[in-house]
Amino acid sequence: MPVAPDRSAARHARGPGTLPRSVTAFASVTLAAATGAAVWLLPTETDQWAAPAQAARPDASVSAPVPPPVAEHVQAVDVPDGGGGPSGFVTFVDVVRHPSFDLPRAARRGDVRWFALGHLTAGPDGCTPRWGGRQEQGGNPAAAGLGRLRAAGGDAGLVFGGPVGRELAAACTAPGALTAAYRQAVGAFDAVHIDFEVQDSADHETVRRRAEAIATLQREALTRGRPLAVSFTLPATETGLSPRDQMMLRTTRQAGVRIAAVNLLVPIRPAPPGGSHLRPAASAVRAAQPQIAAGLGEPTATERVALTFVLADPGDLSSADARKVADFAARNRLAWLSARGASPDPEAVRLLGVPPL
């Protein structure tokens, strides 16, 4: 007569090489204690700014946004990294608000050689670029100084879009006319770098239209032996870029655009007690780096991330802050640094523009 196995005994039996339960329990308690001690030994938030940014591991519990499928039938333009784009500290000039800004004089009296001129948006007909959507390109004194700036050894890129008005891709829906509008602006200023301060990432048709026009311009520039560097300026928080901005980068890259850099806009605000007001910027860079790398289809975003502070007051970025930022930029190989809003103190600008050793 068959005998039923003793399942209770089987549950309590240990296989060969299995540790006793008492030993396993002791090891678990020891591991938990060690983990707690390690957490207490992590750097404080004021130390994080000086440390190199690490690529964040994606959270498996959070589903990444799935963009609409895009056929990657366009060959990406082979533009060298940087492709003639900015470096060091870049001074942004709102040529509509400051039409008398003297580019060559600013370059001579400071250590800045790169400028960004904005913002070019759609004029009344929707397909003609205008400064601030109103002023003709050739009618702005600040922008007219670009030739003298280049003669003095500097250069400037053009910034399309921005917070006011409509970006050309949103207003000009005819693909050929849109490409012609961008081409006209690039040709008028002989630009080797253009930036898009995007406000419409959720509009997929606009994103695709702009991407196809940019890809055409880059192919044309390459045939002339004068590569066109393209960057995107996007707001960033301590969690990095928004899902729609990440999707926009991916869609643009899939359309064949070679994106030289992504410029993160990070506001500087007063720090909480015991905290550092630079911490949000460092956290934004850390979070955005793997997101940008994924959007560009590359393993890392080295030298493809730029950082622009949005200042409410010149004192928001002191000389001491600038030294920390310059060191952080060198450690993490950021593409360039810049500021919007209030102009930083000249000494801070000088420190931010010092090339890394």
Give pLDDT tens digits for 28-49: 434 344 433 333 332 334 445 5
Residue 281 forms part of a structural domain? yes
Taking the chain, what is the end-to-end CA distance rounded to the nearest angstrom?
86
Residue 115 forms part of a structural domain? yes
Query: Going by C-beta distance under 8 Å and a sequence separation of 6 or more, which residues neighbour residue 15?
Result: none
Residue 310 forms part of a structural domain? yes
E strand or H helix at 117 = strand 114-122
pLDDT band at 352, cuts 50/70/90?
Answer: very high
Domain region containing 98: 81-352
Residue 51 forms part of a structural domain? no
Residue 18 forms part of a structural domain? no
pLDDT band at 273, cuts 50/70/90?
Answer: confident
- Please tell me the predicted confidence (pLDDT) of residue 316: 94
How many angstroms separate the CA atoms of 349 and 73, rounded? 43
Give pLDDT tens digits for 55-67: 433 333 333 344 4
How many angstroms separate the CA atoms of 196 and 181, rounded? 14
Amino acid at 162: G
Q: How many domains does the chain have?
A: 1
Omega before residue 119 within 30° of 0, cis: yes
Q: What residue has token string 């890809």?
A: 215
Residue 54 forms part of a structural domain? no
Residue 85 forms part of a structural domain? yes
How far from 7 is each of 10, 21, 57, 255, 272, CA to CA, in Å?
Answer: 5, 18, 43, 63, 60
How many angstroms separate the CA atoms of 96 and 90, rounded? 18
**Does residue 53 surpass a pLDDT of 80?**
no
- Please tell me the predicted confidence (pLDDT) of residue 45: 41
Residue 271 and residue 220 in contact, taking contact as beta carbons nearer than 8 Å: no
- Please tell me the predicted confidence (pLDDT) of residue 205: 97
Q: pTM of this prediction?
A: 0.79
Give pLDDT tens digits for 107-130: 988 778 999 999 999 999 999 999
Question: Which ranges in the chain belong to alpha helices (H)?
Answer: 7-12, 21-40, 103-109, 141-144, 146-151, 168-171, 175-189, 204-223, 243-254, 279-296, 319-332, 346-352
> Quick one: tokens of 131?
């400064």
- Please tell me the predicted confidence (pLDDT) of residue 41: 30
| Mean pLDDT rounded to a whole number for the chain | 82
**Using the 8-state DSSP alphabet, how is residue 195 labeled?**
E
Give pLDDT tens digits for 288-326: 999 999 999 999 999 999 999 999 999 999 999 999 999
Q: What is the CATH number of the domain that holds 89?
A: 3.20.20.80
Give pLDDT tens digits for 139-167: 899 999 999 999 999 999 999 999 999 99
- Please tell me the predicted confidence (pLDDT) of residue 49: 53
Residue 119 and residue 132 in contact, taking contact as beta carbons nearer than 8 Å: yes
Residue 60 forms part of a structural domain? no
